[in-house]
Amino acid sequence: MAESEFREANYDDRGKRRGNLKKDMEELLEKMENLTVRAACVVYDCTAIWTNPDLTNAMQHLEDAFLRCKEQMEKKGQEVLME
């Protein structure tokens, strides 16, 4: 009887370990996929900049315009709240 209980407990432990292993492997695979996508985006961006140096200037201009616009929107928002 004790041997039967031991086998069941041992089987349950293996089942839990398999479940944990599967979950861990899925998480690692998802992390690897995310890193792969990020690396591909970096390579794409670098390639675009190398092939068209003016792109860097254009991106900087867009970022500056965005920040100016954001600043104006925040000022307008504060003015509306004050009224």
pLDDT (tens place) for every residue of the chain, 83 residues total: 455 555 555 556 666 777 788 889 999 999 999 999 999 999 988 887 788 878 888 888 999 999 999 999 988 888 877 77
Question: Could you give the CA distance from residue 27 to residue 67 in angstroms, rounded to a whole number?
Answer: 37
Same domain, 30 and 60: no
User: Locate tokens 């792109």: which residue?
Assistant: 55
Structural contact between residues 31 and 38, judged by C-beta atoms closer than 8 angstroms: no
Q: Tell me the residue range of the domain where 74 lies.
A: 53-82
Same domain, 10 and 45: yes
Same domain, 42 and 59: no
Same domain, 41 and 75: no
pLDDT at res. 9: 54
The token pair that represents 60 in the structure block: 């900087």
pLDDT at res. 30: 95
Same domain, 47 and 62: no
Same domain, 41 and 68: no
Same domain, 43 and 69: no
Question: Could you give the CA distance from residue 35 to residue 82 in angstroms, rounded to a whole number?
Answer: 45
User: Could you tell me the pTM of the whole model?
Assistant: 0.45
